[in-house]
């Protein structure tokens, strides 16, 4: 196993009406003037925004609102948020929404507290030295950004989607009320479950440094999300299932399920990032559309993990050759994706990619600042292209 750092300082308030504590939490972490950052109108229509601003008014905490964070959040809005914070003397960020609002808020926080262009962080040109304190009210269980150190921003020019990770980006608090995710469309719920599982799967499929405690807890999390996702397809208002998935979303990306490993594989995410940059598909659906092809391409190079996954997560009987067991695990996972109405290839995702599109994505993925990478199997540009082609079901 490898040495590791584990640092999850986010104070999580989990449960019904947890959002009633927002003013108190902002004060606890020293906030005096708040930027409330959110996405579309759903948090307004649901009454959540009113609930939040009522509390801030009552507590005498001034605030400014900035909406408009979209899936694959845009750099231009980040710039706008930075200017707004500086102009208004904001000292605390409150993201109300899902990963888009949180990631966008993280980037705003970096931009206010670090000199120069904030994109330089996402372009791996420099490191953050600070950020603004950030609190979260989560309305979509998926990205795990509410406890994670990471954020993903898309630069409109060239549609470049890049992630940046720093402990400064970890939120001070996260309010997790499963009821707030009840109104999500089923497709978004399934996308969230896919993303949540993938954050642990990316850490799980590695060729180095495994720790039994991490692996067995990761498998527990994966089994749980798989079963709860199936419940939510039929019963989207099931509070318990919503809660299981919501808490799993935070634990799946706060570092816990990767302790002691080599950092993980992350190629499904990287391949999807290029997809998301070019086509603006839902992140979770993009992951599902790519994963099976990636898995079939790499599994022989990471056979012990694929075998273990098949048995311990997918419940495949431990009979037959290792390869047979591993393949059955991949098939079972694809069956699961179908069961929750997720795509298993680009066509089902609704993407009709030309050869040129695939070549462009593979090239961007390979020559970008992330470079050729992967732990289950080291992938170069031609490997990435092969996986994209497989995912097109040529």
Tokens of 254: 């706060």
Could you say which of 60, 212, 317, 319 contacts a copy of itself (CB under 8 A)? 212
- For position 16 contacting a copy of itself by CB under 8 A, the verdict is yes
Would residue 19 be called left, alpha or beta, if left means φ above 0 and alpha means ψ between -120 and 50 degrees? alpha
**Residues 216-245 as x/- pattern, contact with a copy of itself by CB under 8 A:** xx-xxx-xx--xx-----------x--xx-
* Cβ at position 159, least distance to a copy of itself in Å: 36
- For position 201 contacting a copy of itself by CB under 8 A, the verdict is no
Cα torsion angle, 143, 175, 113, 166, sign: negative
Could you say which of 23, 132, 136, 259 contacts a copy of itself (CB under 8 A)? 259
CA distance linking residue 225 with residue 217, whole number of Å: 12
CA distance linking residue 70 with residue 74, whole number of Å: 7
Give backbone dihedrals phi and psi of 11, rounded to 5 degrees, phi first.
-85, 115
Which of 17, 172, 186 lies closest to 109 in space, CA to CA?
A: 172
* Cβ at position 238, least distance to a copy of itself in Å: 12
- For position 18 contacting a copy of itself by CB under 8 A, the verdict is yes
CA distance linking residue 340 with residue 327, whole number of Å: 20
- For position 27 contacting a copy of itself by CB under 8 A, the verdict is no
* Cβ at position 55, least distance to a copy of itself in Å: 18
Which of the ranges 86-94, 213-221, 331-339, 351-359 carries the binding residues for a copy of itself, by CB under 8 A? 213-221
Q: Are 272 and 290 in contact (CB under 8 A)?
A: yes
Q: Say how many residues touch a copy of itself, by CB under 8 A.
A: 37
Tokens of 17: 């009406």
Q: Are 288 and 347 in contact (CB under 8 A)?
A: no
* Cβ at position 130, least distance to a copy of itself in Å: 13
Residues near a copy of itself (CB under 8 A): 1-9, 11-16, 18, 211-213, 216-217, 219-221, 223-224, 227-228, 240, 243-244, 247-248, 251, 256, 259-260
């Amino acid at each position: 196993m490898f040495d590791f750092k584990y640092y999850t300082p986010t104070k999580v308030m989990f449960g019904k009406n947890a959002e009633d504590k927002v003013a108190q939490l902002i004060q606890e972490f020293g906030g005096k003037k708040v930027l409330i950052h959110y996405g579309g109108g759903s948090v307004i229509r649901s009454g959540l925004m009113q609930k939040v601003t009522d509390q801030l008014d009552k507590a005498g905490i001034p605030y400014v609102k900035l909406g408009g964070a979209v899936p694959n959040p845009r750099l231009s809005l980040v710039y706008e948020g930075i200017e707004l914070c500086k102009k208004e003397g904001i000292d605390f960020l409150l993201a109300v929404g899902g990963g888009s609002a949180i990631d966008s808020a993280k980037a705003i926080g970096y931009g206010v507290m670090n000199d120069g262009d904030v994109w330089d962080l996402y372009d791996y040109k420099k490191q953050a030295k600070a950020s603004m304190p950030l609190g979260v009210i989560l309305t979509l269980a998926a990205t795990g950004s509410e406890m994670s150190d990471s954020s993903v921003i898309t630069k409109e020019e060239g549609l470049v989607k890049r992630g940046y990770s720093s402990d400064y980006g970890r939120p001070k608090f996260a309010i997790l009320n499963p009821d707030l995710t009840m109104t999500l469309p089923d497709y978004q719920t399934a996308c969230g479950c896919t993303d949540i599982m993938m954050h642990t799967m990316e850490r799980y499929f590695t060729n180095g440094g495994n720790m039994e405690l991490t692996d067995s807890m990761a498998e527990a999390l994966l089994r749980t999300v798989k079963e709860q996702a199936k419940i939510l397809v039929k019963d989207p208002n099931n509070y318990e299932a919503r809660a299981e998935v919501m808490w799993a979303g935070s634990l799946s990306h706060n570092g816990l399920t990767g302790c002691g490993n080599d950092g993980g594989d992350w190629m499904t995410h990287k391949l999807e990032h290029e997809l998301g940059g070019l086509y603006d598909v839902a992140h979770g659906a993009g992951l599902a559309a790519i994963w099976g092809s990636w898995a079939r391409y790499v599994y022989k190079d990471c056979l012990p993990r694929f075998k273990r996954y098949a048995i311990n997560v997918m419940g495949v009987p431990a009979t037959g050759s290792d390869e047979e067991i591993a393949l059955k695990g991949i098939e079972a996972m694809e069956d699961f994706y179908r069961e929750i109405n997720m795509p298993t290839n680009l066509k089902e995702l609704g993407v009709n990619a030309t050869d040129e599109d695939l070549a462009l994505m593979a090239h961007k993925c390979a020559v970008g600042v992330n470079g050729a990478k992967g732990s289950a199997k080291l992938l170069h540009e031609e490997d990435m292209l092969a996986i994209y082609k497989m995912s097109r079901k040529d």
